[in-house]
Amino acid sequence: MRPLHEIAQEIRADWGAKLYFGARPYLDAMASLDSVRGKYGLDSGREIVLYFLANAGTWRGPVARRVKAELKEMTK
């Protein structure tokens, strides 16, 4: 599995300037995490990823589908 901070970089590169404001804080948090087992403040990395996914509905396309599937797999 790739580190979350690497995935966050790919998301920023693909989503670009149209990044949904509701997803931004969770993407920022993911950028400082290695895995879903990490902590960001009082939230677990798993919770951060799930919150990001809940706010990433407007991010679409082949990269979005692939990365969302990868993140969902991490949270199982």
Question: If you write DSSP's letter for every residue of 23-70 in order, what string do you get?
Answer: THHHHHHHTT-SSTTSEETTEEHHHHHHHHHHT-TT--SHHHHHHHHH
- Please, which residues have CB within 8 angstroms of residue 27's CB and are 6 or more apart in sequence? 8, 11, 12, 19, 52
Give 9: exposed, middle or buried? Use CB within 10 Å, 0-12, 13-18, 19+.
middle
The answer to whether residue 1 scores a pLDDT higher than 90 is no
How many domains does the structure of the chain reveal? 1
Query: Domain residues for 13?
Result: 4-74
Q: What confidence tier does 3 reach under pLDDT thresholds 50, 70, 90?
A: very high
Q: What is the pLDDT of residues 19-71, one digit of tens each?
A: 999 999 999 999 999 999 999 999 999 999 999 999 999 999 999 999 999 99
Give the up-direction half-sphere exposure of residue 75: CA atoms within 13 A in the CB hemisphere.
17
pTM of the full structure:
0.95
